[in-house]
Amino acid sequence: MVVWLFLLMVITSSYTASLTSILTVQQLSSPITGIDSLIANDWPIGYQVGSFAYGYLSDSLYIKRSRLVALGSPEEYERALRQGPNNGGVAAIIDELTYVELFLSKRTDFGIIGQPFTRSGWGFAFQKGSPLAVDMSTAILKLSESGKLQEIHKKWFCKMGCPGDRRRNSEPNQLHMSSFWGLYLWCGAFTLLAFLVFLLRAVRQYVRYKKRQMEVSSSSSNTTSMHCSQVIYNFFDFIDEKEEAIKKMFKQCDNIQPQAGSAPRND
């Protein structure tokens, strides 16, 4: 009972702590869900110095230029994000996906919010008519088909875990039934041990009881043979008896034995 009560206490405490953590994380989650929610707010937005993001944000997305903050290095990215929009920093940084993944490759406490909102990619420019254009395109296609290109991406951009995987796994860790397997195993082992102790104790008491019965029956010259099934039935019937009833049975056997073996007195 003590082990089961301890198990119940741990599960109840873990459930309360897990529920509190989930509700707290949901309250502390960022209101920014993508570029649309970022445009709707008045928070400052960071961008890389010299990037086309400045013109794209101001001319295509019509974001006020006073909200745009120029940042020139990954260290400035990190400092501005940690400060936040209310302490002289920025609410988010908009940059090209490659630079963002390179920034996140060494930092696990930041992540990507929303989906990419442009389809422009990277490319290599050659002089018109240059034979290198065909060779370069063929080499990139071979790398992509063989999977080598993805391996290069994981090597250089997923040192601390791929940003895409961290974004998909951004939900807080929750406790499940499998989280308590060690506790269940420990409790099951104690339960099995308690059952074995009870069974051995019951067998020991049954053997003592049958010995005393046999001694009483032998003194009165009465013998009874029983089959194995009858012995098992009698054993379970003996287990069903209460502790007090078992003690009374032992007392009765103790009282009967000297009476059955006493000799008549000669006056």
Residue ranges of the alpha helices (H) in the chain? 2-28, 35-40, 53-55, 74-83, 97-104, 132-146, 148-157, 163-168, 181-219, 228-240, 243-261
Structure tokens belonging to residue 129: 């008519």
Residue 141: half-sphere exposure toward Cβ, Cα within 13 Å: 6
Provide the token pair at 242.
Answer: 């209460």
Say if 262 falls within a structural domain: no
- The pLDDT, as a whole number, for residue 242 is 59
Does a structural domain hold residue 134? yes
Do 116 and 198 fall within a single domain? no
> Which range marks the domain in which residue 108 is found?
28-168
Assess whether 89 and 46 both reside in one domain: yes
More confident residue, 141 or 256: 141
Q: Does residue 3 fall inside a structural domain?
A: no
Q: How many CA atoms lie within 13 A of 116 on its CB side?
A: 12
Residues 206 and 113 in one domain: no
In contact, 93 and 105? CB cutoff 8 Å: no
Last residue of a domain, one of 149, 168, 187: 168
The region of weakest confidence among 20-29, 91-100, 109-118, 242-251 is 20-29
Q: Examine residue 53 and state whether it is found in any structural domain, yes or no.
A: yes
Does the residue 263 lie in any domain? Answer: no
Q: What is the mean pLDDT of the chain?
A: 76
Asked if residue 69 and residue 105 are part of one domain, the reply reads: yes
* Residues 39, 163 within the same domain: yes
| Domain co-membership, 73 together with 199 | no
For residue 261, pLDDT beyond 80: no
How does pLDDT run across 152-197, given as a tens digit for each residue? 877 777 765 565 555 554 455 566 667 777 778 888 888 899 889 8
Q: What is the pLDDT of residue 70?
A: 93
> Do 119 and 189 lie in a common domain?
no
pLDDT score, position 184: 81
pLDDT at 209 over 50: yes
Q: Is the domain of 234 the same as that of 160?
A: no
Does residue 154 share a domain with residue 45?
yes
**d(C-alpha 92, C-alpha 169), whole Å:** 20
pLDDT for 256 beyond 80: no
36: in domain:
yes
| CATH number of the domain within which 114 lies | 3.40.190.10
The 10s digit of each residue's pLDDT in 55-87 is 888 888 889 999 999 998 989 999 999 998 888
- Based on the domain organization, do 145 and 193 belong to the same domain? no
Residue where a domain stops, chosen among 105, 137, 168: 168
Count of structural domains within the chain: 2
- Band of residue 206 on the pLDDT scale cut at 50, 70, 90: confident
| 9 has a pLDDT exceeding 60 | yes
Asked whether residue 146 is domain-assigned, the answer is: yes
Q: In terms of C-beta distances under 8 Å and separation of at least 24 residues, what long-range contacts does 155-164 make, across chains too?
A: 156/102, 156/105, 157/101, 157/102, 157/104, 157/105, 158/105, 159/105, 159/106, 160/104, 160/105, 160/106, 160/107, 160/108, 161/108, 163/100, 163/101, 163/104, 163/105, 163/111, 163/112, 164/112
More confident call, 218 vs 134: 134
- Res. 136: pLDDT tops 60: yes
Same domain, 138 and 40: yes
Average pLDDT of the segment spanning 217-241:
64
The pLDDT value recorded for residue 264 is: 46
Q: 151 with 209, same domain?
A: no
* Residue 227 to residue 234: CA distance in whole angstroms: 11
- At 12 the pLDDT is 82
The structure's pTM equals 0.46
| Distance, CA of 31 to CA of 23 (rounded, Å) | 15
Does residue 229 form part of some domain?
Answer: yes
| Domain stop point among 168, 191, 210 | 168
Residue 263's pLDDT is: 45
pLDDT at 11: 78
For 48, phi then psi, to 5°, come to: -80, 135
Stretch among 170-184, 195-209, 218-232, 234-248 having the lowest mean pLDDT: 218-232
